Structures are given as C-alpha cells and as structure tokens.
C-alpha cells in the first residue's frame, strides 16, 4: 500500500434520527463494524449527550473508529483509521451505512504516512527478563457513558453498554441502563429518576418524614411514583390502612418491575390500590378530605409532570386533604433548578399559609448537584419538628432503614444560608 495507514473521513446523511441518539445502538454498531472488517477491538468509550447527540471511539489494535452524531439533522461524522493491510476500512463504512439507515454517504480516503516520505531510524526497546510470560492482548472492555446535562452542568454515569429497557410511551421515553457504580438506573426522557444503589434516600425521606410527623395517617395518596419506591416505604407503616398510587405511564411500572424489582416490590401488596391514569384528573374528581397524606412524587416540571407544578393542582390537593392533612412534594434542587424551586414555594405558601410550609433536604448523589429538596405543607397543625422521636428511632431500627432516622428527621430541616435566602426564611 506504500503507506502506514488508511484514513477514511465519512459523512452519513439522512440517518434515522432515533438511531443517531441511541448510544447503545451506535456503540454496538461501531464495535461490530470494526470486528466485521477484521480488526481486533481493544476498548470503546461512548457518551450520550442530553437531550441528543452521541460521541464515541472504538480503539482497535490497528488504530481506531470515531463518531459524532447530530440526531436533529440525521447526520453522523465518522473517522475510520486502520494501519497496515490486514483491515479494510471500507468494510466498516458499508456496515455503518446500513446500521444507521443512511440514505447516502460521502467519503474521502487519505493515505497516512506515505512511505516514500519516511526514513526509518534504528529504534529499539530494551526488554527486561522478569521470568514472566508476555501478556496477551487485553480483553475488550466497553467504556460507555450516560450523560444528563443542561447548558451549564452535567452528570455522567458509566454503564456496561447493556440497555435493559427502552420503550416510547404516549408520554415519554422510558429507559433502564445497567450502570457500574449505581446498579440499574431508570431514566425518563434522558433524565435520571432513580438507581438501585441510592433510591432509598429519596423514598425514605419523602415518606417517613410526613408519616411520623402526622402520627395518624390512615389513607395516603401518591401521584406519580411509578417506580414503586414511595409506596414500598409507606406500606412499612402498618397503621396505614390504604395507599392509592396514581401513575400515568404503565411503562414506568413495567420497566421497574422487570429491572428494579427491589424498588417495585410492593405493587402486589393488599393495602395498595394501583391506578394507571392521569393524576391531575384523579385529584379533580377526588372527594373532599379524602386523604391524610398526599405525596406528589413527580418528575421534573417538563413532559407529563408539568401540570403537577401549578397553583390550580395544589389547590385541588389542599381540598382533598383531611383537616390535619399533609402534602409532600419533591421540590427540585435549590442550586440546579433555582427559579422553579423559589416559585413553587411561593405557590405553596399562597395555598397553605406561610407558617405551614417547610423545606427539607437530602443528599442524593445521582440527582443534579447532589442536594435535593422536599416540601412539607400542612393543612392543619402538624409540624415536622414536633414528632415522636422515640417512635421514629424504633421504626427506623426495626425496619432496617438505610437513611432515615430520628436525627436525620430534625437535621433535614436545618437549611443552609443560601437556601434560607432563596426562600426568605428567617431563623
């Protein structure tokens, strides 16, 4: 070939947009394209950018294959670089054109390291005889990353390349990835909802704080929460006679039953009433003073959860609470979603009264900034710091809770100064 390597610069056009945003499909296709051409794959690294776009590289013994995609244009830019004559990069080109369902592609081949321009020098590497056998080529390892980001901040989690679940419902894209550090991870429209390793923090704090503050919860309603963690924690309390879960998306329940079974363990509990329907409509039709506790376990204020962040909705929740009832919501990160955080607390105060609304925090590593907030809004006299600490300690110990205890209950309401300033809370 009279050159050290062949470098093909490729552009694929009119690819299927969904495929161009599917990091697992792209990674698998790039690896297969290398192997089909006869290359020896050493490693791969791929990132999915939220809301769309994938970058990645497959390192081969003979050099590399690299890609970046623009799903919104159905476009992919690809580099195919092989050294020597044992691998034909055009085999990889044809494989990827088919895998990405491109209507056409353009390409340019460069011969790298023209031998007529090179002068070989004497170059030796000293080897030390250690008496050990020479190591074989390393086993191919995948280095694939899921990235949730906005324009200012990002969270990346490395996963195995196994996408355990992916379906598009009428409301959102439901996916489960197998991550290395946090186990199986549920995402909705590219946003992390929960992982096997840290979900207990969120679910213990959104449930046990209000139940133990109230002291006499008989009926509880959960809006959202299709992963099952919130109802699992509520049903630990034998005094609760009925828990109603209203989840709009059946695919969330299906995905978690299949791949986060520890979280979704209570769906068959006899005290649970499971309804797959719109939580907003359910609240509108709900009887007055029907529940002692209502937990709004919603996603972020986009997509199907957007209607759960309105004054009209919270007013309906207030109506449905008993005289001493409590509403709990996840109220975003004060650092990440500052504008929404401030606005919804103003809304709560307008409905429940300024003295009856309290903010508390928990540390959740896989949520943006790691600091997450919950709201405690009381219709009557229930106060989060006036609770039976001995009963809380006993409950935490007997149930083997991993985050909540009587000390955390109090400490969670100790707000940093910057959060106090956002909420204009005076000590």
**Axis-axis angle for helices 338-352, 311-320 (nearest 10):** 40
Question: What is the rounded CA–CA span in Å between residue 75 and residue 53?
Answer: 10
Question: What is the rounded CA–CA span in Å between residue 193 and residue 198?
Answer: 11
Task: For CATH 3.60.90.10, list the domain ranges present in the chain.
Answer: 3-116
Query: CB neighbours of 83 closer than 8 A, spacing ≥ 6?
Result: 4, 5, 62, 63
> What is the chain's mean pLDDT, rounded?
91
User: Does residue 200 register a pLDDT over 60?
Assistant: yes
User: Does residue 82 register a pLDDT over 70?
Assistant: yes
pLDDT value at residue 427: 39
Among the CATH numbers 3.60.90.10, 3.40.50.1380, 1.10.10.10, 3.40.605.10, which is that of 3-116? Answer: 3.60.90.10
User: Does residue 44 register a pLDDT over 80?
Assistant: yes
Section 344-363 average pLDDT: 96
Q: Is 68 a catalytic residue?
A: yes
Q: Is 320 a catalytic residue?
A: no
Lowest mean pLDDT across 160-164, 169-173, 266-270, 415-419: 160-164
Q: Is 359 a catalytic residue?
A: no
Local confidence band at 136 (pLDDT 50, 70, 90 cut-offs): low
Question: What is the rounded CA–CA span in Å between residue 89 and residue 103?
Answer: 20
**Percent residues over pLDDT 90 in the chain:** 76
- Residues in binding site: 172, 203, 227, 247, 278-279, 297-300, 304
User: Does residue 374 register a pLDDT over 80?
Assistant: yes
Local confidence band at 138 (pLDDT 50, 70, 90 cut-offs): low
pLDDT value at residue 50: 75
User: Does residue 385 register a pLDDT over 90?
Assistant: yes
- Residues in binding site for spermidine: 203, 227, 297-300
User: Does residue 155 register a pLDDT over 60?
Assistant: yes
Please check whether residue 266 is in contact with residue 228, taking contact to mean a CB–CB distance below 8 angstroms.
Answer: yes
Task: For CATH 3.40.50.150, list the domain ranges present in the chain.
Answer: 199-423
Q: Is 136 helix (H, G, I), strand (E, B) or coil?
A: coil
pLDDT value at residue 302: 46
Q: Whats the size of the chain, residue-wise?
A: 427
Section 172-183 average pLDDT: 94
Give φ, ψ of 122 to 5 degrees: -75, 120
Local confidence band at 119 (pLDDT 50, 70, 90 cut-offs): confident
What are the E-state strand segments in 14-88? 41-48, 54-60, 63-70, 75-83
Bridge pairing between strands 141-149 and 41-48: parallel
- Residues in binding site for S-methyl-5'-thioadenosine: 172, 247, 278-279, 304
Section 115-124 average pLDDT: 74
| Ramachandran sector of residue 106 (left: φ over 0; alpha: ψ -120 to 50; beta: rest) | beta
Top CATH class, 199-423: alpha beta
Give the distance, in angstroms, between the CA of residue 125 and the centroid of all CA atoms in the same chain: 48
pLDDT value at residue 402: 98
Section 405-416 average pLDDT: 98
Strands in 154-168's sheet, in edge-to-edge order, are: 104-114, 3-13, 75-83, 63-70, 54-60, 41-48, 141-149, 154-168, 173-179, 184-188, 191-195
Question: What is the rounded CA–CA span in Å between residue 21 and residue 343?
Answer: 33
Which residue among the candidates 29, 50, 83, 333 is catalytic per the annotation?
A: 83
pLDDT value at residue 303: 43
User: Does residue 392 register a pLDDT over 50?
Assistant: yes
pTM of the model: 0.74
Question: What is the rounded CA–CA span in Å between residue 290 and residue 265?
Answer: 26
Give the number of other Cβ atoms within 10 Å of residue 161's Cβ.
18
Q: Is 83 a catalytic residue?
A: yes
Which residue among the candidates 44, 63, 373, 375 is catalytic per the annotation?
A: 63
User: Does residue 132 register a pLDDT over 80?
Assistant: no
User: Does residue 154 register a pLDDT over 50?
Assistant: yes
Which residue among the candidates 44, 297, 359, 375 is catalytic per the annotation?
A: 297
> Per the structure block, which two tokens stand in for 31?
């690896």
């Amino acid at each position: 070939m009279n050159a050290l390597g062949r470098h093909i610069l490729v552009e694929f056009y009119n690819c299927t947009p969904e495929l161009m945003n599917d990091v697992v499909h792209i990674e698998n296709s790039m690896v297969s394209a290398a192997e089909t051409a006869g290359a020896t794959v050493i490693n791969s690294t791929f990132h999915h950018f939220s809301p769309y776009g994938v970058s990645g590289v497959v390192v081969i013994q003979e050099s590399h294959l690299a890609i970046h995609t623009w799903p919104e244009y159905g476009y992919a830019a690809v580099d195919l670089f092989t050294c020597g004559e044992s691998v034909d990069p055009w085999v990889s080109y044809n494989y990827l054109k088919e895998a990405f369902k491109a209507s056409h592609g353009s390409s340019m081949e460069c011969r790298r390291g023209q031998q007529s321009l090179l002068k070989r020098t004497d170059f030796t590497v000293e080897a030390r005889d250690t008496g050990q056998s020479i190591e074989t080529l390393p086993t191919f390892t995948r280095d694939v990353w899921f990235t949730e980001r906005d324009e200012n901040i990002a969270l990346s989690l490395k996963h195995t390349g196994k996408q355990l679940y992916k379906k598009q419902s009428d409301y959102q894209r439901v996916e489960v990835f197998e991550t290395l550090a946090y186990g199986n991870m549920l995402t909705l429209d590219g946003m992390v909802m929960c992982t096997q390793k840290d979900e207990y923090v969120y679910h213990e704090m959104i449930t046990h704080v209000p139940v133990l503050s109230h002291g006499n919860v008989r009926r509880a309603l959960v809006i959202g929460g299709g992963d099952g963690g919130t109802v699992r924690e509520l049903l630990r309390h034998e005094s609760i006679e009925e828990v109603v879960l209203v989840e709009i998306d059946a695919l969330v329940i299906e995905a978690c039953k299949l791949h986060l079974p520890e979280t979704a363990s209570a769906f068959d509990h006899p005290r649970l009433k499971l309804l797959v329907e719109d939580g907003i409509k359910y609240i509108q039709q709900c009887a007055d003073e029907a529940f002692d506790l209502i937990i709004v376990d919603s996603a972020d204020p986009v997509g199907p959860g957007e209607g759960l962040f309105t004054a009209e909705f919270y007013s309906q929740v207030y109506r449905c609470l008993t005289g001493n009832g409590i509403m709990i919501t996840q109220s975003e990160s004060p650092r990440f979603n500052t504008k929404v955080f401030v606005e919804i607390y103003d809304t709560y105060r307008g409905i429940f009264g300024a003295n009856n609304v309290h903010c508390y925090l928990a540390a959740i590593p896989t949520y943006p900034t790691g600091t997450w907030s919950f709201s405690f809004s009381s219709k009557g006299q229930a106060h989060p710091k006036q609770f039976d600490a001995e009963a809380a300690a006993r409950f935490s110990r007997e149930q083997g809770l991993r985050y909540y205890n009587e000390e955390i209950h109090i400490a969670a309401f100790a707000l940093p100064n910057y959060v106090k300033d956002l909420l204009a809370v005076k000590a």
